[in-house]
Amino acid sequence: MTIAEVKKEIRNATSHLYEQREITAITALLLEKITGFTRLDQTIQKDVLIEQREVESLQQAIVKLQQGMPIQYVLGEAWFYGFLFSVSEHTLIPRPETEELVAWVLSDLNNNISQVNLLDVGTGSGCIPITIAKKISTIKTYGVDISTNALAIAKKNAQSIGSDTQFLEIDFLDTSKWDSLPPVDILISNPPYIAEKEKASMHKNVLDYEPHIALFVPDNDPLIFYKQILLFAETKLQMNTLIYLELNEALAMQTAALFSSASFETTLKKDMQGKYRMLKVIKK
């Protein structure tokens, strides 16, 4: 089987799920991972025969893609802010919006900061605290999550990327666990924020494969995690503590109002799509 033939097979298997642009990107990632051919190689050497063992690996991957499994889970890895993170069905796939949130934090701090502690609530793969720790060495980073399996992936990522980020298994909604947390100077979170009723409009590859515990909140209390973060800020954080949050665009104004009504200073920020997806909060 040649590279051109593999490309055709992937296109045929995934055309019911993705647009052509996405299929092209998926194909390039899969071929490079399994065969070692770069995107340029894949074009120049499109008629080169692929080794049989690689063909078998590609065909196994194509079956998974055809079933709707995201390419990141097929490969077991995803890029985030220039670092390659392991991912699994126990962790969310890192997304560009979260990169934008991290970029906001890094821009604000601008590497001119003394030793401080940063806590990531709902850390998943650990991409947020690990990236920030790699970019600013004076920040001590921590990540908490309720999922044992997600934390295993996060710890693996910290080791492979070279970060001393520490991870704790905690249900953040359980206030009795807060005393076990370290002192916090900066809090960041991309918490669950999708209402159950929104499932009907979501893509199959998200619903069928990404961990629901990291995605969904009850229809009757969609701000449950933000309310808990506010309570944590009111009871545990010092004045002028910085809080950075990723948002559900449909609830952005409500989320900001939640904090401003408690006399916190709030700043909403749009993502590259022009949607309010980020919120900075300062305890005053």
Long-range contacts of the stretch 108-112 (C-beta < 8 A, 24+): 108/242, 108/280, 109/136, 109/139, 111/135, 111/136
- The pTM for the full model equals 0.94
Tens digits of residue pLDDT in 174-186 = 999 999 999 999 9
Which stretches of the chain are DSSP H helices? 3-14, 20-35, 39-44, 52-66, 71-75, 96-109, 127-135, 148-161, 204-207, 224-236, 252-260
CB 216 within 8 A of CB 199: yes
The pLDDT of residue 279 = 98
Tell me the per-residue pLDDT of 69-86, one tens digit each, with 9 for 90 and over. 999 999 999 999 999 999
Note the pLDDT of residue 207: 87
Task: Give residue 112's pLDDT.
Answer: 66
Provide the pairing of β-strand 265-270 with 194-195: unpaired
pLDDT at residue 276 above 70? Answer: yes
pLDDT of residue 224: 97
pLDDT at res. 144: 98
Residue with tokens 């990236």: 131
pLDDT tens digit string along 199-248? 888 887 888 899 999 999 999 999 999 999 999 999 999 999 999 999 99
Q: What pLDDT score does 111 carry? A: 63
What is the mean predicted confidence (pLDDT) over 266-273? 97
Q: Is the dihedral of CA 170, 173, 177, 178 positive or negative?
A: positive
Residue 249: predicted pLDDT: 96
Does residue 284 carry a pLDDT above 90?
A: no
77-282: CATH number: 3.40.50.150
Per-residue pLDDT tens digits for 89-122: 999 999 999 999 999 999 999 866 778 999 999 9
- At 191 the pLDDT is 97
- Residue 149 has a pLDDT of 98
Structural domain boundaries in the chain = 3-67, 77-282
Q: Is the pLDDT of residue 272 over 90?
A: yes
